[in-house]
């Protein structure tokens, strides 16, 4: 995985071959094919592992002793701040690394599932505290994932940081206020 990740970040998906990955990792190409059908499968796994590490990092930054309202706002704020850092690192990566895998939609769905999985406990906590009011946690988490889909590298690169910051803060306010229980 590390060898493949390094090659993908250096050369991109299309310019990295199974032979390159096998050579870099010190294994026979046949052995690599035993575990992976093709380089896209490896690429997909690398992307999912990156997304999992990203989400775990965000989750670890959340303080334990704050209200669910503050925690969900901090969650989105942290995702955005960490995405800014990640996007800056990705600027140094060749543009062809950012190509879409032929299996792109399933990867996006897996990343969205990771995002949803991290949101569910925050929503449950808010409901238990009597702060949030919603019918179905899964549907609500899915809606939040859908609403925040604009937070991606393309959006980050095409809008000034000041505007992005204002958009994200407004989005967080809309989400938190929309989740709150009405008297």
Asked if residue 51 belongs to a domain, the reply is yes
- Percent of the chain residues topping a pLDDT of 90: 61
Separation of alpha carbons 172 and 174, rounded Å: 5
| 182 CB burial (10 A radius; 0-12, 13-18, 19+) | exposed
Residue 88 confidence (pLDDT): 77
Q: Which residue has the higher pLDDT, 20 or 94?
A: 20
Q: How confident is the model at residue 162 (pLDDT cuts 50, 70, 90)?
A: very high
Asked if residue 19 belongs to a domain, the reply is no
Question: What CATH number has the domain bearing residue 83?
Answer: 1.10.357.10
Residue of 54, 60, 122 whose CA lies nearest to 89: 54
Residue of 14, 9, 175 whose CA lies nearest to 80: 175
* Domain encompassing residue 129: 47-179
Per-residue CA distances from 166 to 73, 97, 169 (Å): 14, 29, 5
In this structure, what DSSP letter does residue 133 have?
Answer: -
Which of 48-52, 81-85, 149-153 shows the lowest mean pLDDT across its residues? 149-153
> Average pLDDT over the chain, rounded to whole?
87
Note the pLDDT tens digit of each residue in 70-107.
999 999 999 999 888 887 777 666 554 555 444 566 77
Separation of alpha carbons 53 and 5, rounded Å: 14
Asked if residue 2 belongs to a domain, the reply is no
Asked if residue 134 belongs to a domain, the reply is yes
Asked if residue 106 belongs to a domain, the reply is yes
Separation of alpha carbons 111 and 116, rounded Å: 9
In total, how many domains does the chain have? Answer: 1
Whether pTM > 0.75 for this model: the answer is yes
3-class secondary structure, 180 = strand
Asked if residue 13 belongs to a domain, the reply is no
Residue 171 confidence (pLDDT): 94
Mean pLDDT of 143-164: 87
Asked if residue 24 belongs to a domain, the reply is no
In this structure, what DSSP letter does residue 152 have?
Answer: S
Asked if residue 9 belongs to a domain, the reply is no
Mean pLDDT of 42-46: 89
Residue 96 confidence (pLDDT): 46
């Amino acid at each position: 995985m590390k060898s493949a990740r390094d090659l993908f970040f250096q050369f991109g998906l299309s310019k990295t071959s199974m032979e390159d990955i096998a050579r870099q990792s010190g294994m026979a190409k046949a052995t690599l094919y035993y575990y992976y059908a093709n380089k896209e499968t490896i690429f997909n796994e690398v992307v999912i592992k990156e997304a999992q590490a990203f989400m775990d990092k965000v989750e670890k930054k959340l303080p334990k002793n704050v209200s669910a309202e503050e925690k969900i706002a901090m969650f989105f704020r942290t995702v955005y701040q960490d995405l800014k850092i990640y996007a800056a690192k990705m600027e140094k990566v060749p543009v062809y690394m950012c190509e879409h895998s032929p299996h792109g939609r399933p990867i996006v769905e897996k990343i969205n599932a990771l995002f949803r999985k991290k949101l569910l406990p925050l929503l449950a906590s808010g409901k238990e505290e009597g702060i949030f009011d919603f019918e179905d946690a899964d549907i609500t988490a899915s809606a939040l994932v859908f609403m925040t889909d604009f937070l991606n590298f393309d959006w980050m690169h095409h809008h000034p940081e000041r505007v992005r910051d204002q958009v994200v803060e407004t989005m967080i306010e809309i989400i938190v206020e929309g989740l709150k229980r009405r008297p």
